[in-house]
Structure 1
Amino acid sequence: MDANLTKQSNFDAIIIGGGACGLMCAVQAGFLGKKTLIIERNNRLGAKILISGGGRCNYTNLHTSAQQFLSGNTHFSKSALSQWTVDDTIGFFETYGIYGQEKTLGQLFPTTNKAKDIVDVFSSLCDDLQQTVWLDTEVTSIQKEGDQFIVAYQGNRGKGALRVPKVVIASGGLPVQKLGASDFGLRTGRAFGLNVVKPMPALVPLTITGKDQSWYEQLSGNSIFCRVWNDRISFEENILFTHWGLSGPAVLQISSYWQAGEVFYIDMLPHQRMSNVIAAEKVSNPKKMLLNLLATLFTRKFAEALSGSLPVQKNISSLSKVDVELVEQLIHQFKVKPAGDKGYDKAEVMRGGIDTAELSSKTLEAKKVSGLYFGGECVDVTGWLGGYNFQWAWACGFVIAQQI
């Protein structure tokens, strides 16, 4: 970097990324009297916040604990989550007029149902606390000289570089490219000699190809409440059939625990046993066709789609023991072998990232590089669907702010 373009800044830290983690970090640092500069490559703050939850922003989850996070170190998230709790998140937003309403499974949304209100809180606080924000600006390199970092940038302020004592990498993960996602955090980690756990899409729809594809296509739009499981985890929520495979909350959840080539299973009737349903129907309505019974439990379209695998035209009374066992197995252990996933542009988050072994769990500072911090999605901590990743981001922002 040309020395003439490098200036000593008066910032305590530069925060790269104006998303959930970066915004919380800047605001909390401001409360402590610190001055930060947020550098954001988009033309607005909180781009991913604004589209989350269908534009409503599921900003935390009441049931948050380390158990809802995937990581190479399952204990790593405990420190940050204890330093900034769900109650802290709720109290913070209530202070600025954002009140939560609980939806399913502990998910908390603003009562206004507007993600913009969440971003507006941070924008206003950054102004009030005199935290500087540069939009449409991209960091091109980060170097360390002694106890200072040289952060080179280019954008609507031209090209230049700033010297600063501390740098926070809050640049997110690889989803979603149209929102400015990049591998910047991963590249920066590698450049400083940090190990990176292989990144992969998470909370992502799964695709079905080959001979089974047409079967899924015909059910596109059908949604069923199910238990989805493999040998590591299970989830009870809706699945959604699509023209390319499977989506819906339960499938997004299991996708984070799925590897290429693996299978998982779907229990289409998780709170009843199909054999018991059939036995009861034999007493009350023995002449009912299996097709009509299935249509009362699921959609008619789904019942008809099972005609190739089950004797749906038989009356309940004429079902043999083998028939009942076949129905039981298909309904409760429906086997799925996805061909792949829909990739980063359809994924909610990224799994993998900066190896937690490289960071202090208490401060999120890189052990090998003093003054360099990583938080949010670029770290190998990935939450379940339902507000957990936001809680992790807020916690990271708070924790790092205490250090700068």
Structure 2
Amino acid sequence: MGFDAVIIGAGACGLMCAAQAGLLGKRTLVIEKNSQPGAKILISGGGRCNYTNLNTSAQQFISENEHFCKSAFSQFTVQDTISFFEVYGGIKGKEKTLGQLFPESNKAKDIVKVFTDLCTDINQEIWCNTEVKSIDKNSIGFEIKLVRNGREETIRSPKVVIATGGLPISKMGATDFGLKIARQFGLQITQTAPALVPLTITGKEQQWYEQLSGNSIFCRVSCGEISFEENILFTHWGLSGPAILQISSYWKPGNAIEIDLLPNQHILELIEEERSLNGKKQLLTLLSNLYTRKFAEALMLLLPVEKNLASLSKADLQKTEALIHHFKVKPAGDKGYDKAEVMRGGVSTQELSSKTLEAKKVPGLYFGGECVDVTGWLGGYNFQWAWASGFVIAQGL
């Protein structure tokens, strides 16, 4: 069929790869199992699509090789992403908190439309409802067996790009296809796990969290040396919210996390100030001014909240300080791939060229996006990796 490359997966990486290859005069075929391209883009950010982050650097990514992503980010920067969507889709970015950039329209479908329109204009083909069954390599190139609209076909291509994403979210067609192909060709896989995922609490503590379901608090959440300051959300099954999703990428089963429930003030200083003004005020009243009444009342099981400030003993103050600033949580687990935003781990960076993302052992085979062991923080970072890796691969096709 005269394709320079076949790209498997019409997600962020695959679509960018096809677009950039087409702009270089190359012809690609994108194969997508779903009925439309960009399925995960369309649901990202609640359908608003936080498509990059102004603060992107290697520091916001988890990988066995922390330097691996630097080459891609130097070749395709955040400014390149912004310019691409402005030039080819008329999309202007709107910055929200922490450097997050959204389309002004707040519509993820506008991001996908940029690619579908551009691919049509530059003669790149996208086949939806098409599932790849096998990929084999011979002296000529790659042989790809697939089922398209219920019919079996075989196509050949000198180069293949695996941009099939990770294991989250199975109901949207996510599979371990990329990992299987990597293993088939003898490439190492860095251990995978759900990332940016809510954490669960079980046992006797679960009821305490259940009663607080829906309460959101700005906190500092820490696991080891890493910490994030954002909101946490209490749920029926444990903890969620941006700070919890962020820390989940670093958390491992059996570990505890620590939560500072008042990161920008000190509870003992507040108590001392209030006590000098009105020693008869209850601790519960003070805490109700800092948090929701429901959360303050839930602390009755843990703190002497019904005492007035003047009668708090040294032991009471120590207990209050420890709970407010060093609240320990030992999650039972996480909500798994169906609730995770991304996958941690993937095709080992040792197996790929950081400059081209081509497999060192298999010339002509490329891996990009989420199936590679490069996992970003919440807030548009994973999209920037997808765009950059798609761009980099396109240069070598």
CA distance in 2, matches of 1:190, 1:230: 32
Is 2:248 aligned against 1:282? no
Listed as ranges, the matches of 1:301-380 within 5 Å are 301-380=294-373
Q: After alignment, is 315-324 or 366-375 more displaced?
A: 315-324
CA distance in 2, matches of 1:396, 1:85: 11
In structure 2, the residue matched to 1:136 is 129
Q: Of the candidates 40, 43, 58, which is equivalent to residue 35 of structure 2?
A: 43
Could you say what secondary structure the match of 1:369 adopts?
coil
CA distance in 2, matches of 1:272, 1:73: 37
Is 2:19 aligned against 1:27? yes
Percent of residue pairs identical: 69
For structure 1, the residue ranges without an aligned partner over 5 or more in a row are 1-8
CA distance in 2, matches of 1:125, 1:158: 28
Q: Of the candidates 176, 192, 203, which is equivalent to residue 196 of structure 2?
A: 203
Listed as ranges, the matches of 1:1-400 within 5 Å are 9-95=1-87, 96-156=89-149, 158-400=151-393
- The Cα of 1:284 is off from its aligned counterpart by 1.6
CA distance in 1, matches of 2:240, 2:108: 23
Tell whether the 8 Å contact from 1:40 to 1:137 is kept in structure 2 after alignment.
Answer: yes
TM-score (norm 2): 0.99
Could you say what secondary structure the match of 2:147 adopts?
strand
What do residues 149-200 of structure 1 show as CA deviations (whole Å, max 9, x unaligned)?
Answer: 0011112161111110000000000000111101000000000000011111
What residue identity is the alignment partner of 2:383? F
Could you say what secondary structure the match of 1:162 adopts?
strand
What do residues 260-305 of structure 1 show as CA deviations (whole Å, max 9, x unaligned)?
Answer: 0100100000001111011111112211100010010011000000
CA distance in 2, matches of 1:123, 1:232: 43
- The Cα of 1:99 is off from its aligned counterpart by 0.6
Tell whether the 8 Å contact from 1:140 to 1:154 is kept in structure 2 after alignment.
Answer: yes
- The Cα of 1:322 is off from its aligned counterpart by 1.3
What residue identity is the alignment partner of 1:359? L
CA distance in 2, matches of 1:207, 1:147: 51
Could you say what secondary structure the match of 2:396 adopts?
coil
CA distance in 1, matches of 2:62, 2:94: 26
What residue identity is the alignment partner of 1:143? D
The runs of 4+ residues in structure 1 deviating greater than 6 Å are none
Could you say what secondary structure the match of 2:281 adopts?
coil
Could you say what secondary structure the match of 2:164 adopts?
coil
- The Cα of 1:248 is off from its aligned counterpart by 0.1
- The Cα of 1:27 is off from its aligned counterpart by 0.3
For structure 2, the residue ranges without an aligned partner over 5 or more in a row are none
In structure 2, the residue matched to 1:5 is none
Tell whether the 8 Å contact from 1:354 to 1:378 is kept in structure 2 after alignment.
Answer: yes
What residue identity is the alignment partner of 2:350? A
CA distance in 1, matches of 2:82, 2:148: 36
What residue identity is the alignment partner of 1:18? A
Could you say what secondary structure the match of 2:370 adopts?
helix
What do residues 105-160 of structure 1 show as CA deviations (whole Å, max 9, x unaligned)?
Answer: 00000010000000000000010011011000001110000140001111216111
Could you say what secondary structure the match of 1:81 adopts?
helix
Tell whether the 8 Å contact from 1:232 to 1:257 is kept in structure 2 after alignment.
Answer: no
Q: After alignment, is 138-147 or 41-50 more displaced?
A: 138-147
Tell whether the 8 Å contact from 1:219 to 1:241 is kept in structure 2 after alignment.
Answer: yes
Could you say what secondary structure the match of 2:117 adopts?
helix
Aligned length: 396
TM-score (norm 1): 0.97
What do residues 4-45 of structure 1 show as CA deviations (whole Å, max 9, x unaligned)?
Answer: xxxxx3100000000000000000000000000000000000
CA distance in 1, matches of 2:140, 2:173: 30
What do residues 63-115 of structure 1 show as CA deviations (whole Å, max 9, x unaligned)?
Answer: 00000000010000000011000000001111121111111100000010000
Could you say what secondary structure the match of 1:392 adopts?
helix
Instruction: Compute the RMSD of aligned alpha carbons.
Output: 0.7
